[in-house]
Structure 1
Amino acid sequence: MPLRIIYIDLNSYFASVEQAERPELMGRPVAVVPMMAETTCCLAASYPAKACGVRTGTLVKDARKLCPKITFIEADHRKYTAYHHRIIDVVDKCFPIWKVFSIDEMAIELHGREQDPAFARAKALEIKRAILEEIHPALTCSIGIAPNRYVAKIASDMQKPDGLTIIHSEELPERLFGLSLRDFPGIGPRMEERLIRAHCMSARALCHKSFSEMVDLWGSKVGGDFWRLIRGEVLEERETERSSIGHSRVLPPNTRNAEDAWSNLVALLSKAAMRLRGEGFYARSLQLNLQFLRKGTGISHWDKRARFFETQDTTLLLHELGALWAEAPKENILKVGVVLSSLVPEDKHQLSLMEDSKRDRLMAALDSLNKGQQKNLVVYGASSELGQPTQAKIAFGYIPEKDA
């Protein structure tokens, strides 16, 4: 099987952008945080910071202990989005991008003579050089080249920062034996626990499993897909419909109380509902997510889901949110979030006797006003904080267009 994918992963992207903006931070430990508070956590860390043990999710107070010389910078998503679009333009000039997977990951598909290893390697080096020269020397990337996207993504993680790894089909799956189980995309904590319970303790043991054993381990055809992917086979890229729309927010220390938490939740759900209508979906499920700061035990979580007939009506969604909130614990809230899921495209929407065409038109009118020059001109009662000047939410997968 020939080489088909060049996978590009920008190294410590948020921290690298900050170093590009502030050259005096080059080569120094840097962490990007959602806000300047000891009780929040790191969103990204530069490699000097990682060398001290600071990782995504490390609490700021712990990061200070691990790396006393670290510099914390408040996240600025607009800046990261602007750099993202500049990088996309640079890469696209070197070779047409096939797909963008997140704000810091993208891939190129190779065909015919382009699949020659020497060509693929040269093109990868050209992309690296172009980003460094046309954007900034702080913006390094690691690139993986392989027969399919899955293995190419794994290859991009094998040498960081600024790496280039090529994996040929004849090397598979043996080339993957040195990985940990969590190095495989799609294997999270729960799946790792399941594999360990099945006495599958290493990547070598996992790769030696037969097709049917893989299916049994996963409990579905996903196991069979995994068996094929780690051998370099190309599976049909399924065009997936959006599965959820959500927003979350870490609360500043002076707003970690029930009243402000509720106000933020109303604001977040209003934004999510506006996106729901804008993207042409109805939701059948709403989940409320809360994180708490517990002294001595770290962060704990609470979540609960409500199910209902498909809707895109903000008022009805807020009613469901209120019912969930009534059951939620409300002390020491660190982060709040809402997720709308079980989405139904408008063309498959089933009409309900409860729907009100007048209210639908009202929602459309409100959305039009809120998308105008004065953002969030009209808000729901408890959501007036929507109009407060705050930084844009960090979005790893959802990237605004250039003119957004």
Structure 2
Amino acid sequence: MRKPETIERLYLDFDGFFASVEQQCDRRLRGRPVGVVPFAGTTRTAVIACSREAKAFGVKNVMPIEEAKRLCPDLVLVPQRPDLYRRAHNALLSEIETVIPIDTAKSIDELTCRLDEAGRADPHGLTAAIKATIAENVGPWITCSIGFAANRQLAKIACKEGKRSGGRYGDGLAIWRPEDMPAPLLEVAMEDIPGVGGNMAKRLYRSSIYTTEQLYNLQPKHMRKLWGNVTGERLWYALHGYDIQAPASSRGMFGHGRVLPPEARTLAGAREISRLLLIKAARRLRRENFYAGGLWLWLSIRAGSWMGKRHLPVVNDDQAILSGLAELWDQVRRDHPRGITIFRIGVTLYDLSPSHERQLDLLLNDDSTRRRWESTSNAIDNLNTRYAGTVVSLGPWRPPAGGHVGGKISYTRIPSAEDFW
């Protein structure tokens, strides 16, 4: 395994991305503390994202609105516009590509690049060029923090540390050269290392490991044992500066979730929104040429949560998938005959198989029926694609307050234009 002798990776993270895009597009918001919320007129949900000015008051992403308002009474609440953020993402990547090729867009607000010889020799100049290009061609209110290191994992950690450097938030830079390591890494809180989540941190505490230095001084096999798989050993090599690459991930599911507006928190209201979300998930399933063998429905309710699963006969058409959803809602009604208040819903299609590997259910002779419904679903998809909107759907198409059915803010997936039809 190769251990680079110089910096080879750049990691870029846009600062308060969703809020800064709003500030760039609306001059009335510039310089003011901004919180992006799911929909207008609500005070009972959470701030999805916040601006640099709001963070200075202690406001954080995914913080209840009431708490955020207590910390920052002048916080301006702005309803989310996910399609605007998607378009901003595309514009920003196009501008950055004029300076340096992008290796991977890790999320809608993070990306990584491999450095060429010039970038390794002058990271300060490369950083200045990227930031100047963004400011001149997209706008000065969208800023970014950048980290340089020998590998992507260390560059990401450096980027996060640079974002918080100098007693301010954002527009940061951190360069972690191999000859300077591990000193800057050891100053990072162990819980801030990607791969050390809350549950993993508790496991490390039980093993008397409390600091990054203690974690760094472990042996690779010990890390593997603590994590229970090769991920721990891979993290050890990444922290020690090796050119370790994460294995390619494969698609495991298609799903959507949504916080419900107050008027839709009944069984009937939540069921209707779940139907729209599932149609969107099924469209994505077909676009990427998969079939699903299972459906999962999750509800956040006052007493905790409700979860249910249904087997599907390896399908991708709307009729079969919505039939499975109807069965799950019948179960919800049986479990809660007096009704419940539902705050959030999620639908997921899982047990995927590529279209060319489809295995029919031997106990269900409905292939001819499925083929007809598949043709119907494909015809609907083609019409919607032609007009770039939902002009035809199986059942009524009435998006809830705030819209964004299946096209909400996503930190882990970069939405496509089709998500907003």
Q: Same fold, TM exceeding 0.5?
A: yes
Q: Unpaired segments of 5 or more residues in structure 1?
A: 295-299
Whole-Å separation in 2 of the counterparts to 1:139 and 1:127: 12
Match among 8, 15, 19 for residue 15 of structure 1: 19
CA contact (8 A) 2:263 2:269 kept: no
**For the structure 1 residues 52 and 305, does the alpha-carbon distance in structure 2 shift closer, same or farther, using more than 3 Å as the test?**
farther
Equivalent runs, 1:133-148 vs 2, <5 Å: 133-148=136-151
Partner of 2:371: 357
**For the structure 1 residues 167 and 402, does the alpha-carbon distance in structure 2 shift closer, same or farther, using more than 3 Å as the test?**
farther
CA contact (8 A) 2:318 2:373 kept: no
Partner of 1:33: 37
Partner of 2:307: 303
Note the C-alpha offset of 1:276. Answer: 0.3
Partner of 1:318: 322
CA contact (8 A) 2:23 2:29 kept: yes
User: Are 2:414 and 1:398 aligned?
Assistant: yes
Whole-Å separation in 2 of the counterparts to 1:205 and 1:310: 48
Whole-Å separation in 2 of the counterparts to 1:186 and 1:379: 41
**For the structure 1 residues 203 and 387, does the alpha-carbon distance in structure 2 shift closer, same or farther, using more than 3 Å as the test?**
closer
Note the C-alpha offset of 1:398. Answer: 2.2
Note the C-alpha offset of 1:268. Answer: 0.7
Amino acid at match of 2:162: Q
Partner of 1:211: 220
CA contact (8 A) 1:90 1:130 kept: yes
Match among 94, 97, 107 for residue 89 of structure 1: 94
**For the structure 1 residues 401 and 98, does the alpha-carbon distance in structure 2 shift closer, same or farther, using more than 3 Å as the test?**
farther
Q: Secondary structure at the match of 1:94?
A: coil
Amino acid at match of 1:70: L
Equivalent runs, 1:210-229 vs 2, <5 Å: 210-229=219-238
CA contact (8 A) 2:298 2:307 kept: yes
CA contact (8 A) 1:10 1:139 kept: yes
CA contact (8 A) 2:34 2:78 kept: yes
Amino acid at match of 2:345: V
Q: Unpaired segments of 5 or more residues in structure 2?
A: 164-169
Whole-Å separation in 2 of the counterparts to 1:393 and 1:240: 23
Whole-Å separation in 2 of the counterparts to 1:188 and 1:224: 16
Deviates more, 1:240-249 or 1:369-378: 369-378
Note the C-alpha offset of 1:293. Answer: 5.4
Note the C-alpha offset of 1:374. Answer: 6.7
Partner of 1:56: 61
Equivalent runs, 1:3-402 vs 2, <5 Å: 3-36=7-40, 37-111=42-116, 113-114=117-118, 116=120, 118-160=121-163, 161-292=170-301, 300-328=304-332, 331-353=340-362, 354=364, 355=367, 356-373=370-387, 375-381=389-395, 383-386=396-399, 390-391=403-404, 392-396=407-411, 397-400=413-416
Q: Quick one: percent identity of the two aligned structures?
A: 32
CA contact (8 A) 1:376 1:387 kept: no
CA contact (8 A) 2:258 2:344 kept: yes
Amino acid at match of 2:221: S
**For the structure 1 residues 62 and 403, does the alpha-carbon distance in structure 2 shift closer, same or farther, using more than 3 Å as the test?**
closer
Note the C-alpha offset of 1:7. Answer: 1.0
Please tell me the root mean square deviation across aligned C-alpha atoms, in Å: 2.4
CA contact (8 A) 1:286 1:307 kept: yes
Whole-Å separation in 2 of the counterparts to 1:65 and 1:339: 36
**For the structure 1 residues 403 and 308, does the alpha-carbon distance in structure 2 shift closer, same or farther, using more than 3 Å as the test?**
closer
Note the C-alpha offset of 1:162. Answer: 0.5
Partner of 1:297: none
- Alpha-carbon deviations, 1:177-231, whole Å to 9, x = none? 2222321112222212222222222222211111111011000111110111111
Amino acid at match of 1:390: G
- Alpha-carbon deviations, 1:348-385, whole Å to 9, x = none? 2223444332222222112223333273333334x532
**For the structure 1 residues 293 and 176, does the alpha-carbon distance in structure 2 shift closer, same or farther, using more than 3 Å as the test?**
farther
**For the structure 1 residues 292 and 368, does the alpha-carbon distance in structure 2 shift closer, same or farther, using more than 3 Å as the test?**
same
Amino acid at match of 2:13: D
Amino acid at match of 2:31: G
Amino acid at match of 1:399: P
Note the C-alpha offset of 1:104. Answer: 1.0
Whole-Å separation in 2 of the counterparts to 1:285 and 1:27: 48
Residues matched between the structures, number: 396
**For the structure 1 residues 38 and 389, does the alpha-carbon distance in structure 2 shift closer, same or farther, using more than 3 Å as the test?**
closer
Amino acid at match of 2:259: V
Whole-Å separation in 1 of the counterparts to 2:251 and 2:10: 25
Deviates more, 1:259-268 or 1:339-348: 339-348
Whole-Å separation in 1 of the counterparts to 2:275 and 2:51: 35
Q: Secondary structure at the match of 1:238?
A: coil
Whole-Å separation in 1 of the counterparts to 2:33 and 2:400: 34
- Alpha-carbon deviations, 1:140-179, whole Å to 9, x = none? 1000111111111111100220011111223444422222
Whole-Å separation in 2 of the counterparts to 1:281 and 1:322: 22
CA contact (8 A) 2:39 2:80 kept: yes
Q: Secondary structure at the match of 2:46?
A: coil
Amino acid at match of 1:102: S
- Alpha-carbon deviations, 1:324-361, whole Å to 9, x = none? 33444652211111122232222222234443322222
Q: Secondary structure at the match of 2:343?
A: strand
